[in-house]
Homo-oligomer: A and B are copies of this chain.
Amino acid sequence: MLSIILIGTGNVSAKLAQAFSHSEDVKLLGIYGKKERKGEILSTGHEVEEISDIDESADIIVIAVHDDAISDVQKQFRSSNALVVHTAGSIPMDDLLPIKRRGVFYPLQTLSADREVDFNTIPLCLECAETEDRKMLEQLAGTVSESISWVDSGKRIRLHLAAVFTNNFVNHMIRQAEKICEAHDLPKEMLHPLLDETVAKAKILGAANAQTGPAVRGDRSVIAKHLKLLPDTAQQELYKTISVSIQNEYESQL
């Protein structure tokens, strides 16, 4: 049985609390953070305490707060005997120094308050400074996910960058398509089968093999036609930059 304390009341903390509550091998001693969301998070029935009342006997303290707040929060735990981990993709483990027993527990997923996720499929990227802590961190991860990897800080920040393309930028492309539909009274749901197949193909074939369209074909007449149809220079700029990027990428492979 691992005893843990969660710091933070944002989405990551909420989803972790929920996931841990389903495990018989984890005892959540408490959650600390902004009060207004505690009730919602603690529908699992775990006790909420004041930061001054931290149970020092916890095995692991999980700091699941905004990136900018980690360095401040970690100061509270410098004399702790627990393993102290943060959950951020782009923050090096050593930002927890001088804590000796430090580590990272990074769930590679976009977590929102209003979305149920199957935590079991979320890749958990682990790192720790002390070899003796590996087993315990892996044990904690194993209680909530079947996808566990050891990823050092250098690789993790690259993974976080790749996640920006995969999530933020993919979403922005979908947004542009939605805007075109909205402007012309076309139901955006018409694009959903294409979106599903796009992702399925990229996953199965690899995106390089799945690339199609006017840019990779070098079809300038369709590109020119599309640019004329885009209503503002901002969308035109976006379309142009991405098309040039596609052309350059596949030209150099010829």
Contacts and interface: CB of A to CB of B under 8 A. Distances in A.
A172 B242 contact: yes
A207 B90 contact: no
B67 A207 contact: no
Interface string A156-192: 0111011111111111111111101101111010111
A195 B196 CA distance: 11
Contact of A171 (B147, B181, B210): B210
Given A109-B197, A167-B212, A195-B166, A206 B178 contact: yes
Contacts of A169: 173, 176, 242
Count this chain's copies in the assembly: 2
Interface string A115-131: 10100011101000000
B242 A110 contact: no
Contacts of A161: 180, 226, 229-230
B186 A158 contact: yes
Contact of A198 (B117, B125, B171): B171
B162 A191 contact: yes
22 contacts: A108-B190, A108-B191, A109-B197, A115-B197, A115-B204, A155-B185, A158-B180, A159-B191, A165-B174, A166-B174, A166-B194, A168-B216, A168-B246, A169-B176, A170-B173, A170-B195, A171-B211, A172-B242, A175-B208, A178-B207, A196-B199, A241-B241
